Amino acid sequence: MKRTIEVLNGLEKEGVFARYAIGGAMGAIFYTEPSLTFDLDIFVVHSPQENEHDVRGRRRVDCIGRVVTRPSGRETASQCIVIDGVPVRFLPAYNSLVQEALSRAQDTTYENIPTRILSSEYLVAIALQTGRSKARERVRILREQAKLDIRLLADILKRHQLEGRWQQWTE
Amino acid sequence: MAAMDGVNVELARIFASKEERRQRLARLPFPEKVKAVVQLQEMTATILRSRGKSVRPWSVPTLATEIQ
């Protein structure tokens, strides 16, 4: 995992993407008790010259990581690439909520390696927006165990029209 | 009735203890949580594979510290 984060930092430094942050289940686990997951979801903001970097980026992935392995048929099916033994799923910032979450991601360290994690309030909002049953469980556990900034969360939910689902899921 | 109250007290103690443990796990440093996740992956991989799911535990060091 440490080496995985080093590779992600390297990819960001090289301009393969402009910014990244850990989200999904592992992002939530930063704030809650550990739970089962097999993927590391990495949200990314692409560089302005996306297409050029996309091509160059793939070369760089190969260059930076002898640690980066090409996905096997099975891994391709789950759309992950394995970086130092960790299946990483890259998710582009697909809407305004995720873009905002990425821009406000929390700086932290993992075994002295700098990294970023989506804040717990945005993890809740993204889970609400996703709307799946797994996401509902994530909202429940984040409410229980993360120290949510309720004012910030309320602001995010209002601006992204998620108050209705919040009420529906938490009443 | 007294016996029932005794059971309830014991159940309350067990639930409180479980909740306290969950809160303690939530307070672990992130790298320790990652190690716990890998242990969970290793514990469940065989079962998931037998159900036809393709899973592979991460190849990172597993939990060194006691979290029970």
Span A127-142, pLDDT tens digits: 999 999 999 999 999 9
All residues of chain B having their beta carbon less than 8 Å from the beta carbon of residue A123 are none
**Residue A96: CB partners within 8 Å, gap ≥ 6?**
A160
Q: Are A118 and A105 in contact (CB under 8 A)?
A: yes
Q: Is the pLDDT of residue A157 over 80?
A: yes
pLDDT at A72: 46
Chain B: give the shortest CA distance to residue A43, in Å: 18
How does the average pLDDT of chain A come out, rounded? 85
Higher pLDDT, A62 or A170: A170
Six-digit token string for B22: 């969950």
Yes or no, beta carbons of A38 and B59 under 8 Å apart: no
All residues of chain B having their beta carbon less than 8 Å from the beta carbon of residue A85 are 58-60
**Partner-chain residue, chosen from B28, B31, B55, that has the shortest CB–CB distance to A111:** B31
Q: Are A18 and A45 in contact (CB under 8 A)?
A: yes
Yes or no, beta carbons of A108 and B30 under 8 Å apart: yes
pTM above 0.90, yes or no: no
- What pLDDT band is residue A61 in, cutting at 50, 70 and 90? very low
What does the alpha-carbon distance between residue B40 and residue A166 come to, in Å, rounded to a whole number?
30
β-bridge partners, A107: A116
- What pLDDT band is residue A66 in, cutting at 50, 70 and 90? very low
What does the alpha-carbon distance between residue A143 and residue A164 come to, in Å, rounded to a whole number?
16
Give residue-wise pLDDT tens across range A67-117: 344 444 444 434 688 898 899 999 999 899 999 999 999 999 999 999 999
What does the alpha-carbon distance between residue B37 and residue A26 come to, in Å, rounded to a whole number?
9
Mean pLDDT of A147-169: 96
Chain A: give the shortest CA distance to residue B56, in Å: 7
In the three-class reduction of DSSP (H, G, I as helix; E, B as strand; rest coil), residue A21 is classed as strand
Residues in B whose CB is inside 8 Å of some CB of A read 22-23, 25-26, 28, 30-31, 33-34, 36-37, 40-41, 44, 54-60
What does the alpha-carbon distance between residue A17 and residue A124 come to, in Å, rounded to a whole number?
24
pLDDT at B6: 72
Indicate if ipTM > 0.90.
no
Chain A: give the shortest CA distance to residue B55, in Å: 7
Distances from the Cα of B53 to the Cα of A52, A80, A151, B48, angstroms: 36, 15, 41, 5
**Partner-chain residue, chosen from B26, B57, B60, that has the shortest CB–CB distance to A33:** B26
Instruction: Tell me which residue of B10, B11, B13, B31 sits closest to B21, measured CA to CA.
Output: B13
- Give the neighbor-by-neighbor strand order of the sheet with A106-110: A68-69, A81-83, A86-92, A40-46, A17-22, A113-117, A106-110
Yes or no, beta carbons of A84 and B59 under 8 Å apart: yes
Higher pLDDT, B4 or A58: B4
Yes or no, beta carbons of A1 and B36 under 8 Å apart: no
Percent of chain A with pLDDT over 90: 70
Which pLDDT tens digits describe chain B residue by residue (68 residues)? 556 677 788 899 999 999 999 999 999 999 999 999 999 999 999 999 999 988 889 987 665 544 44
